[in-house]
């Protein structure tokens, strides 16, 4: 599955995107955040505060309890500060 | 039939007069054009520039969703939304909303709604470059912006007012 990162999440992970093979236990966006935080220290730092992370599945905002089955691209980023 | 919004995400600057004229050219039914321009501040001399990061594809898609909501909520004759990304220096433009309608209330309210939603829903992030080119860190989202956006939810008093 393709995962993309933006802003300080991208900086902490150290990559703007990566492709990961997920274990079957990962069903929702929140599960994915929990799993990513165990990958290494950089991911652990990026996902240390799950509440500060926003999620988009295939470029549409979703809540953390959204199932990720069938998604082509999942993105993680901090709350937006445009405008 | 709601107006079809024009949405652009670009590095280049925009011209408010050109964008306003685009909405009114050849029209005789428009009575109000409200243009809002958001500019980069220097924060009292502390800021050298802003680096605006965006999510290509999703930025355009989300801005279009927000703009279409405004077009179905207010009787607009036209709507243009432009957001820049990349390095933006103090005094330079960041974002533009131009709303045209037969009457002023719809144009004012639609532009206000657009800005509240753009700030909280459009995938853009600002990083500050402090004077001396040091990394000033990412701008944090403000609760006040969420509260501003929440004003438009629910209650009927926020329904479009007829002229």
Domain count, chain B: 1
> What value of ipTM does the predicted structure carry?
0.94
Beta-carbon-side half-sphere exposure of residue B17 (alpha carbons within 13 Å) = 0
Walk along chain B (163 residues) and give the pLDDT tens digit of each residue. 788 999 999 999 999 999 999 999 999 999 999 999 999 999 999 999 999 999 999 999 999 999 999 999 999 999 999 999 999 999 999 999 999 999 999 999 999 999 999 999 999 999 999 887 677 799 998 888 988 899 998 744 445 544 4
B16: in domain: yes
Nearest to A6 among B55, B83, B118 (CB): B55
Asked if B122 and A61 come within 8 Å (Cβ–Cβ), the reply is: no
Tokens of B52: 């605006």
Q: In what order do the strands lie in the sheet with B124-130?
A: B86-88, B47-54, B124-130, B134-138
How many angstroms separate the CA atoms of B92 and B159, rounded? 34
Q: What is the pLDDT of residue B133?
A: 65
How many angstroms separate the CA atoms of A51 and B17, rounded? 42
B124: in domain: yes
Contacts of A59 in chain B (CB under 8 A): 55, 57-58, 61-62
How many angstroms separate the CA atoms of B17 and B55, rounded? 28
Asked if A82 and B62 come within 8 Å (Cβ–Cβ), the reply is: no
For chain B, the maximum distance between any two Cα atoms, rounded to a whole number of angstroms, is 52
B12: in domain: yes
Q: Which of residues 50-89 of B touch A (CB under 8 A)?
A: 52-55, 57-58, 61-62, 83
Of B109, B129, B119, give the one whose Cα is nearest residue B51. Answer: B129
Contacts of A60 in chain B (CB under 8 A): 58, 61
Of B163, B148, B158, give the one whose Cα is nearest residue B70. Answer: B158
pTM recorded for the entire structure: 0.91
Q: What is the pLDDT of residue A55?
A: 98
Asked if B55 and A59 come within 8 Å (Cβ–Cβ), the reply is: yes
Beta-carbon-side half-sphere exposure of residue A69 (alpha carbons within 13 Å) = 4
Domains and CATH numbers, chain A: 2-77 (3.10.20.30)
Tokens of B136: 């000033």
Contacts of A4 in chain B (CB under 8 A): 55
Domain span at residue B41 reads: 6-135
CATH value at residue B19: 3.90.1170.40
Tell me the three-class secondary structure of B93-126, residue by residue. Answer: EEEEEEEEECCHHHHHHHHHHHHHHHHHHCCEEE
* pLDDT tens figures, B116-143: 999 999 999 999 998 876 777 999 988 8
């Amino acid at each position: 599955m393709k995962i993309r990162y933006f802003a300080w999440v991208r900086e902490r992970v150290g990559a703007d995107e990566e492709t990961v093979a997920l274990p079957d236990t990962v069903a929702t966006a929140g599960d994915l955040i929990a799993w990513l935080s165990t990958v290494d220290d950089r991911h652990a730092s990026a996902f240390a505060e799950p509440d500060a992370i926003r999620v988009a599945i295939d470029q549409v905002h979703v809540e953390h309890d959204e199932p990720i089955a069938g998604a082509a691209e999942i993105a993680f980023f901090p709350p937006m500060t445009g405008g | 039939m709601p107006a079809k919004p024009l949405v652009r995400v670009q590095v280049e600057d925009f011209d408010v007069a050109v964008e306003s004229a685009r909405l009114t050219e050849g029209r005789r039914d428009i009575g109000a054009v409200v243009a809002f321009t958001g500019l980069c501040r220097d924060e009292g001399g502390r800021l050298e520039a802003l680096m605006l990061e965006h999510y290509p594809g999703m930025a355009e898609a989300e801005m279009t969703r927000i703009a279409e909501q405004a077009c179905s909520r207010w009787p607009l004759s036209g709507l243009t939304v432009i957001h820049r990304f990349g390095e933006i220096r103090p005094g330079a433009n960041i974002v533009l909303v131009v709303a045209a309608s037969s009457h002023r209330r719809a144009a004012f309210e639609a532009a206000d709604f657009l800005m509240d939603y753009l700030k909280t829903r459009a995938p853009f992030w600002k990083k500050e470059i402090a004077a001396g080119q040091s990394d000033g860190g990412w701008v944090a989202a403000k609760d006040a912006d969420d509260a501003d956006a929440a004003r438009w939810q629910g209650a009927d008093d926020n329904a479009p007012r007829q002229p």
